[in-house]
Amino acid sequence: MTTMRKGRCTARCFAAAFTPTETRVSQMREITATHMPLWGVPGQLATDIVLVVSELVTNAIQHGKGDVELRVRYVGSEVRIEVTDGNPTPAEVRIPDADEESGRGLLLVAALSRKWGVSDGGTTTWCTFRVPQASRVPGTTTRPNHTTADAGRR
* pLDDT score of 105: 75
DSSP code, position 40: T
Average pLDDT, the chain: 82
Residue 104: CB atoms within 10 Å: 15
Q: Which residue has the higher pLDDT, 115 or 105?
A: 115
* pLDDT score of 92: 76
pTM above threshold 0.85:
no
Residue 149: CB atoms within 10 Å: 12
Q: Is 70 exceeded by the pLDDT of residue 52? A: yes
Residue 135: CB atoms within 10 Å: 14
Strands (E) across the chain are located at 2-5, 13-18, 68-75, 78-84, 115-119, 124-130, 148-149
Q: Is 80 exceeded by the pLDDT of residue 100? A: no
Sheet (strand 78-84) strand order: 2-5, 13-18, 68-75, 78-84, 124-130, 115-119, 148-149
Give the lowest-confidence range in 3-7, 48-52, 103-107: 3-7
